[in-house]
Amino acid sequence: MNDDLVIVVVAGLVATACGLLGPFLVLRRIALLSDAVSHAVLPGIVAVWLVGQTRAPLPVIAGAAAFAVLCVLAIDALRASGLVASDAAIALVFPALFSLGVLGVTHFADGIHLDLDSTIYGEIAFTPFDTVTLGGVEVARAAVVLAVVVLANLALIALLWKELKATTFDPEFSATVRLRPRLLSRLLLVAVAVTAVAAFEAVGAILVVTMLIVPAATAYLLTDRLVVMVGLTVGIGWIGAVAGHRIALGLDSSIAGAMGLVCAACFVLALVGSPRYGPAARAMRHRTRAVDTAGAGPRPG
Amino acid sequence: MTAGTLRVVLAALAALLALAGCTAGPPTAAAAPIGERAVRVTTTTNFITDTVRRIGGDRVEVTGLMGPGVDPHLYRASAQDVRALREADIVFYGGLGLEGKMADLLADLAQHQTTTAVTDGIPREALLPAPGGAPGQYDPHIWFDVTLWEQVSATIAATLSERDPQHAATYRQNLDAYRSELRALDTEVRTRIAAIPPAHRLLVTSHDAFAYFGRRYGIEVAAIQGISTAAEATTADVERVADLLASRAVPAVFVETSVPRQTIDALLAAAARRGQQARVGGELFTDAAGAPDTPEGSYIGMLRANAGRIADSLSATTVTQGG
Q: How far apart are CA B273 and CA B275, in angstroms?
A: 5
**Chain A residue with minimum CA distance to B25:** A138
Sign of CA dihedral B313, B127, B295, B175: positive
For A112, the closest of B74, B104, B227 (CB atoms) is: B227
Q: How far apart are CA A234 and CA A20, in angstroms?
A: 7
Domain count, chain A: 1
| A176 domain residue, yes or no | yes
Q: How far apart are CA B115 and CA B133, in angstroms?
A: 25
Average pLDDT, chain A: 87
Of residues A110 and A137, the one with the higher pLDDT is A137
CB contact under 8 Å between B23 and A151, yes or no, is no
pLDDT in tens, B215-255: 999 999 987 765 555 556 677 778 888 888 888 888 898 86
Q: For chain A, how big is the Rg over CA atoms in Å? A: 22
| A290 domain residue, yes or no | yes
| A258 domain residue, yes or no | yes
Phi, psi of A102 (to 5 degrees): -65, -40
- pLDDT at position B259: 56
- pLDDT at position A1: 43
pLDDT in tens, A212-222: 999 999 999 99
Q: How far apart are CA A126 and CA A117, in angstroms?
A: 14
Phi, psi of B95 (to 5 degrees): 75, -170
Name which of A215, A213, A168 is nearest A187 in CA terms.
Answer: A168
Q: How far apart are CA B301 and CA B68, in angstroms?
A: 13
A111, pLDDT greater than 70: no
Q: For chain B, how big is the Rg over CA atoms in Å? A: 23
Name which of B276, B280, B226 is nearest B252 in CA terms.
Answer: B280
CB contact under 8 Å between B21 and A134, yes or no, is yes
- List all residues of chain A from 179 to 208 with a beta carbon under 8 Å from chain B: none
| A301 domain residue, yes or no | no
Q: How far apart are CA A217 and CA A271, in angstroms?
A: 10
**SS3 (DSSP) at A137:** strand
Q: Which residues of B touch A111 (CB under 8 A)?
A: 130-133, 208, 226-228
Q: Which residues of A touch B25 (CB under 8 A)?
A: 2, 138
Could you tell me if B288 and B99 are in contact, meaning their C-beta atoms sit under 8 angstroms apart?
no
Name B67's bridge partners: none
Phi, psi of B130 (to 5 degrees): -65, 130
Of residues A55 and A101, the one with the higher pLDDT is A101
Band of residue B322 on the pLDDT scale cut at 50, 70, 90? very low
A47, pLDDT greater than 70: yes
**Chain B residue with minimum CA distance to A127:** B105
- pLDDT at position A231: 96
Specify the amino acid at residue A58. Answer: L
Name which of B259, B264, B299 is nearest B281 in CA terms.
Answer: B264
- pLDDT at position B1: 52
Band of residue A290 on the pLDDT scale cut at 50, 70, 90? low
Could you tell me if A68 and A197 are in contact, meaning their C-beta atoms sit under 8 angstroms apart?
yes
Of residues B259 and B69, the one with the higher pLDDT is B69
Specify the amino acid at residue B322. Answer: G
Name which of B286, B248, B234, B245 is nearest B268 in CA terms.
Answer: B245
Secondary structure (H, E, C), B108-177: HHHCCCEEEEHHHHCCHHHCCECCCCCCCCECCCHHHCHHHHHHHHHHHHHHHHHHCHHHHHHHHHHHHH
**Chain B residue with minimum CA distance to A158:** B1
Q: Are strands B114-117 and B90-93 parallel, antiparallel or unpaired?
A: parallel
| A275 domain residue, yes or no | yes
Name which of A151, A235, A160 is nearest A198 in CA terms.
Answer: A151
Q: How far apart are CA A112 and CA B73, in angstroms?
A: 12
**Chain A residue with minimum CA distance to B207:** A111
Could you tell me if B279 and B252 are in contact, meaning their C-beta atoms sit under 8 angstroms apart?
yes
**Chain B residue with minimum CA distance to A102:** B231
Average pLDDT, chain B: 84
- pLDDT at position A109: 64
| A66 domain residue, yes or no | yes
Instruction: Give me the domain span that covers residue A262.
Output: 2-295
- pLDDT at position B68: 80
For A139, the closest of B20, B77, B133 (CB atoms) is: B20
Is the CB of residue A159 less than 8 Å away from at least one CB of chain B?
no
Query: pTM of the prediction?
Result: 0.82
Residue A134 host element (H or E)? strand A131-134
The alpha carbon of residue A113 and the mean position of all alpha carbons in its chain are separated, in whole angstroms, by: 27
Q: Which residues of B touch A238 (CB under 8 A)?
A: none
B8, pLDDT greater than 90: no
A37, pLDDT greater than 80: yes
Q: Which residues of B touch A144 (CB under 8 A)?
A: 17
Q: Which residues of A touch B105 (CB under 8 A)?
A: 123, 126, 129-130
Is the CB of residue A146 less than 8 Å away from at least one CB of chain B?
no
A298, pLDDT greater than 60: no
Q: Which of B13, B22, B109 to mutate to test the interface with A (most CBs of A within 10 A)?
A: B13
Specify the amino acid at residue B141. Answer: H
CATH of the domain at A252: 1.10.3470.10
Is the CB of residue A99 less than 8 Å away from at least one CB of chain B?
no
pLDDT in tens, B48-100: 999 999 999 999 999 999 988 777 877 888 899 999 999 999 999 999 988 87
User: How close does chain B come to A224, measured CA to CA in Å?
Assistant: 17
Is the CB of residue A143 less than 8 Å away from at least one CB of chain B?
yes
Name which of A203, A130, A128, A207 is nearest B81 in CA terms.
Answer: A128
| A232 domain residue, yes or no | yes
Which residues fall within 8 angstroms of residue B146, CB to CB, at 6 or more apart?
B182, B183, B185, B186, B189, B216, B303
Residue A244 host element (H or E)? helix A226-251
Could you tell me if B152 and B122 are in contact, meaning their C-beta atoms sit under 8 angstroms apart?
yes
CB contact under 8 Å between A130 and B134, yes or no, is no
- pLDDT at position B23: 52
Is the CB of residue A129 less than 8 Å away from at least one CB of chain B?
yes
CB contact under 8 Å between A5 and B19, yes or no, is yes
CB contact under 8 Å between A111 and B208, yes or no, is yes
| A300 domain residue, yes or no | no
- pLDDT at position B319: 46
CB contact under 8 Å between A110 and B232, yes or no, is no
Q: How far apart are CA B47 and CA A128, in angstroms?
A: 27
Interval B201-210 mean pLDDT: 84
Q: B115: number of CA atoms within 13 Å, CB side?
A: 18
Name which of A3, A124, A130 is nearest B109 in CA terms.
Answer: A130
- pLDDT at position B321: 42
* Least confident range of A10-24, A114-128, B254-268: B254-268
Give chain B's domains with CATH numbers.
36-190 (3.40.50.1980), 197-315 (3.40.50.1980)
Could you tell me if A140 and B17 are in contact, meaning their C-beta atoms sit under 8 angstroms apart?
no
**SS3 (DSSP) at A88:** helix
The alpha carbon of residue B241 and the mean position of all alpha carbons in its chain are separated, in whole angstroms, by: 25
Could you tell me if B204 and B321 are in contact, meaning their C-beta atoms sit under 8 angstroms apart?
no
- pLDDT at position B163: 93
Left (φ > 0), alpha (ψ -120 to 50) or beta: where does A111 sit? left
Specify the amino acid at residue B300. Answer: I
Q: B77: number of CA atoms within 13 Å, CB side?
A: 26
Could you tell me if B128 and B170 are in contact, meaning their C-beta atoms sit under 8 angstroms apart?
no
Name B62's bridge partners: B41
Phi, psi of B207 (to 5 degrees): -135, 140
- pLDDT at position A25: 93
Q: Which of B75, B137, B207, B228 to mutate to test the interface with A (most CBs of A within 10 A)?
A: B228
pLDDT in tens, A223-268: 989 999 999 999 999 999 999 999 999 999 999 999 999 999 999 9
Task: Say what percent of chain A tops pLDDT 90.
Answer: 49
Band of residue B141 on the pLDDT scale cut at 50, 70, 90? very high
pLDDT in tens, B295-309: 888 999 999 999 999
Q: How many CB pairs below 8 Å do chains A and B form together?
A: 157
For B104, the closest of A130, A139, A143 (CB atoms) is: A130
- pLDDT at position B13: 75
Q: Which residues of A touch B97 (CB under 8 A)?
A: 113
